[in-house]
Amino acid sequence: MSSVTGRARGCARGLAVGTVPAAAVLDLMNAESAGEPVWPVALVLAVGTAAVLRAARRRPAWLTEQVRIAVPALFSLIYTGVVLGLREPSRFGPGEVLVLLCLLFLAVRHAPGWWAAGCAVLDGLALLALPVRYLQSFSLRDDDMVAALLIGLLLIGIVAGIAGYLRSVDYRRVVAVGETRRAERLAIATDLHDFVAHHVTGILVQTQVARMMADAPQHEIDGVLAGIERAATEALASMRRTVGVLRDVGPEAVERRPVGDLDGIFELVDRFPGPGQRAVVHRDPELPAGLPHEVQAAAFRVVQESLTNVRRHAADATEILVSLFPDGDRLVVIVQDDGRGGVRLPAEAHGGGFGLVGLKERVTALDGEVTAGPRQGAGWEVRAVLPTGVKGRAGSGVEMREGRR
């Protein structure tokens, strides 16, 4: 879109460079042949032509877009007023008409804010005043005057309409680029939180456990250290994938983004439990296998964020249960724990509440719902309902897998 717009802008500038000076020469020749003073016409045309042809990057700072557009129109109106005051008819030619139309185009398309309307009105008045300069009449009973005004209004409408359309195209392009960049930033932030923070939180928790196990048998300490090593390796891999997305904007970069599915939930839960913890996944066998990828990824993120929050806020939990089952054409994901929040992490490890916010955005984007709150007695529950478009029903059998310690 930007290349097409730039090409169109270059063509328009090339057309102006070729036609405006030639039309200005015709105006000067017309004034000279009618025996009128040439220098006022030359002054108005020189100011207008310079304003139209002067490139934006070569203008001084004080020559803003509104000054560039308004000053030539003011010169034209002043000249018309002087001619009316002297009551000496003066002809006008295609050069001044073309200059004012070009300035009108620039006003509507490029002038900032309300200046666009003000400058456009000023250029339009200067254009409609040209016939008055020659006819020396404001009367609408004059057929020539009415015809000239109608032609002027038609030209103004065409030029303003084209410029307004192009301005709207530019605006939509800017908005689209901004939204795309915002979506990319949110996706990268989500990846960093969902994957890297998950693994780093695991490293922190297991490091605390290792400090408390200073007098424990060597094989128990080795198990904790192996968990730290595994979590650190996975954190580095996730960071490497995210950095790859930042460095490579091609379609193959999207394929390298960290993703998850329902099968990945088993592996996620399998790696989660620490000493004294038990994590179990219940997956209803009636749950359809061919769920949309975005639904599986959202379910994976729900479980991942819930487990991360267990580590951060309820590391004393001993039982973590993850349930996956169909409810009509919806997938229900429930994560429950029995933690009481008795183990505290450093304040820096608690995050800023972005996890649940991002989780809600991800689920609601799929027209789903997510709720989180305390359970009766003790613990916490996160429940997400995701539309799948695939009919299913709750079965009696349940596939159960317990995470290793």
What whole-number distance in Å separates Cα of residue 83 and Cα of residue 66? 26
Torsion on CA atoms 299, 301, 304, 306, rounded to nearest 10: -80
What is the pLDDT at residue 264?
Answer: 86
What whole-number distance in Å separates Cα of residue 280 and Cα of residue 293? 23
- CA distances in angstroms from 370 to 11, 272, 330, 356, 383, listed in the order given: 53, 22, 13, 9, 6
What is the pLDDT at residue 255?
Answer: 45
SS3 state at 138: coil
Q: List the structure tokens of 104.
A: 């009108």
- Identify the structural domains of the chain with CATH numbers, from first to last: 2-136 (no CATH), 260-405 (3.30.565.10)
Q: List the structure tokens of 321.
A: 């249960």
> pTM for this structure?
0.47
97: exposed, middle or buried (C-beta count within 10 Å: 0-12, 13-18, 19+)? middle
What are the phi and psi torsion angles at 259 (to 5°)?
-135, 170
Decide: 234 and 260 in contact? Cβ < 8 Å. Answer: no
Handedness of CA 39, 45, 49, 52 (dihedral sign): positive
Decide: 281 and 265 in contact? Cβ < 8 Å. Answer: yes
SS3 state at 355: helix
Helices 293-313 and 198-212: angle between axes, nearest 10 degrees: 30
What per-residue string of b and e applies to 361-373 under the rule 16 or more CB within 10 Å gives b? Answer: ebbeebebebebe
Decide: 379 and 337 in contact? Cβ < 8 Å. Answer: yes
Sheet bearing 399-402, strands edge to edge: 369-374, 380-392, 319-337, 278-283, 399-402
Decide: 319 and 338 in contact? Cβ < 8 Å. Answer: yes
Question: What does DSSP say about strands 319-337 and 278-283: parallel, antiparallel, or unpaired?
Answer: parallel
Closest C-alpha to 322, from 381, 363, 376: 381
Closest C-alpha to 213, from 203, 204, 223: 223
What is the mean pLDDT for each group of 10 consecutive residues in the chain (405 residues)? Answer: 49 62 80 80 85 71 80 89 81 84 89 87 90 76 81 91 89 81 66 61 64 63 68 66 56 49 86 80 87 85 86 82 91 90 51 63 84 86 86 50 53
First to last CA, the chain: 55
Decide: 102 and 50 in contact? Cβ < 8 Å. Answer: no
What is the pLDDT at residue 258?
Answer: 47
Q: List the structure tokens of 258.
A: 């960290």
